[in-house]
Amino acid sequence: MQQNINSNSLESYLEQFTTDIATITSQPVFQEIYEIYDLISQSMRTYLVSQGFLEFKPPLIGPVTDPGTRGAKQVAIDYYGKEYKFMSSGILYKQLLSISRKMAGKEGKIFFFADNLRLEPLETANTDRHLAEFIQVDLEIVDADHHQAMDVAEGLVSYLHQEMKKYEAKLKPIWEFFEPLSSQRGLRKRESLPEIVGAFKRYTHAEAVDLLQTYIGENPDVVKEIQQRFGVKASRLSPKSEIPWEYEWLLSHIHDEPFFIYDYPKGARGFYDRESPQQPGILMDFDLIFPHGYGEAISGAAREFEVSKVIPRMKESGESLQKYRWYLEFLKKHGQPTAGFGIGLERAVRYFCGLPSIFLALPYPRVPGVFSA
């Protein structure tokens, strides 16, 4: 591919997105990425519709959105004198819509292509997979638990692989173009997309931590390497909390196919992720992790739906109950089990295109703390 750009670092690419967007986005390699972006969007829609999901237009703003996690800040607007929030994720509305479909005697399966806005803490700028503005393909299923939601995720991601395989000739030059930077950012060199046959591996959180600890035991040098790569001082790996970014990267790096981690310990997730009635302290939730170092693609869970469970969970997050008035009233009258997940569209584009950082997937990327046009 003929390119008029000469960038040997992510910083200089980012710089170009803040100075001359037309020049950088008109480069052939970027136009190829944008085409893949569109193909992935279409494939996701096609698959979900084929599985009986109905697409809704998600709300842009509302009196409340689901709380940001890991320190991300929501964006408020003045809505005729009242404070409304820009959606950081449409979970509460997905629950509402899937249940209302069911109440109407239809199949309770819905999805959004949802614009999400999260003012992430600046430390996320180093993960290569966080943007402040991004699209999440967000779905919800009535009468399902997290295992059934994982089945749908597996189907969707397998389908995407199958579809993208058809475009390998288009993808290869992108992989090659970014290969030097991608390997610098800890991504494995790719000759072809993984051939998906059969089911993805499913690890419980405890098994994933065990796997990591075993791997570290056998490769002690890796600890120093990831601490350097992610600029963290000490090991933060614990069976009692979320897997830190640097270890999630490691886990992703040593896998050849997408895989699930499920049953996370309670603590980091939102109040809507259901706590297992059989195993208190364990959430009925999951992540799908892309292989080769690309990291988390999907987060999902079965939802809490009883107010007697939701209210204490909200208080655990230090939330104000008043703020969630419509949601609590809705759950009290109509709450029933649902499960769902969201897949980051730009994360999928990054993964299939082999991009060193997620911001390269968009013509006007919102990198936390970077002021592009």
d(CA 160, CA 172): 16
As measured in angstroms, the least distance from the Cβ of 86 to another protein is 12
As measured in angstroms, the least distance from the Cβ of 122 to another protein is 5
d(CA 223, CA 225): 5
Nearer to another protein, 66 or 346 (CB): 66
Structure tokens at 148: 């059934």
Say which residue the tokens 């080769």 belong to.
292
As measured in angstroms, the least distance from the Cβ of 369 to another protein is 5
Nearer to another protein, 315 or 332 (CB): 315
As measured in angstroms, the least distance from the Cβ of 347 to another protein is 20
Nearer to another protein, 52 or 71 (CB): 71
As measured in angstroms, the least distance from the Cβ of 318 to another protein is 5
Closest among 276, 288, 313, 296 to 358, alpha carbons compared: 296
As measured in angstroms, the least distance from the Cβ of 319 to another protein is 6
Nearer to another protein, 52 or 312 (CB): 312
d(CA 308, CA 345): 34
133-142 vs 109-117, strand pairing mode = antiparallel
As measured in angstroms, the least distance from the Cβ of 315 to another protein is 5
Write the CA distances from 16 to 123, 130, 133, 160, 368, integer angstroms. Answer: 22, 19, 19, 31, 16
Ramachandran bin of 27, using left for φ above 0, alpha for ψ from -120 to 50, beta for the remaining angles: beta
Nearer to another protein, 85 or 190 (CB): 85
Nearer to another protein, 120 or 296 (CB): 120
d(CA 156, CA 46): 10
Nearer to another protein, 51 or 69 (CB): 69
| Residues near another protein (CB under 8 A) | 67-74, 76, 82-83, 119-123, 236, 240-242, 244, 266-268, 312, 315-320, 322-323, 368-369
Residues 6+ apart with CB under 8 A from 360: 13, 30, 33, 178, 350, 353
